[in-house]
Amino acid sequence: MSEFDTQAREEQVGLGDLDLKFLTLRIGEEIERLEIKEIRRVVDSNAADNLSGVDFKFIVESKDKKLLRINSWALWNKLREVLKKAGTIQSTVSMEHTGVGLYEVELRKN
C-alpha cells in the first residue's frame, strides 16, 4: 500500500440514515435556523476538502439530522466564537455566507 491508500470501511445503513440531509453554505446562501446537536472533527489526511493546513474538517449535525461540513477557517472561527459565548455546543444559530471568506454567524433563541 502506498501512503495515499486509505483503509476501506463498511457500515450498515439504518432507517435513521435515510433521513440525513446535507446543508450547503455557498456565497449568498443563508441557514436561518440550525439547532446544533453535535460537532464532530473528521480526520482524513487524504481528503481534498479539509481545512487549510490540517488533516481534518468539522461536521455539524443538527437536531433534525441535517449535516453541514465546515472546511473554512473563517466559518469555523465565527461559529466557535458564538458557541463559546453561548457556553454550549448545543445551541441554535443562523449562518450566512456574504462573500469570499466572509461569514455571519449569530446565536438564535431556542
Let me know how many helices (H) and strands (E) the chain has, helices first: 1, 6
Query: Cell numbers of 32, please?
Result: 436561518
Using CB atoms within 10 Å of the CB of residue 97, give its burial: 0 to 12 exposed, 13 to 18 middle, 19+ buried.
buried
Give the 3-state secondary structure of residue 18. Answer: helix
10-49 pLDDT, tens digit each: 778 888 777 768 999 999 999 999 999 999 999 988 888 8
pTM as predicted: 0.80
Provide the residue ranges of all domains of the chain, joining segments of one domain with +.
21-108
Alpha-carbon span 14 to 36, nearest angstrom: 22
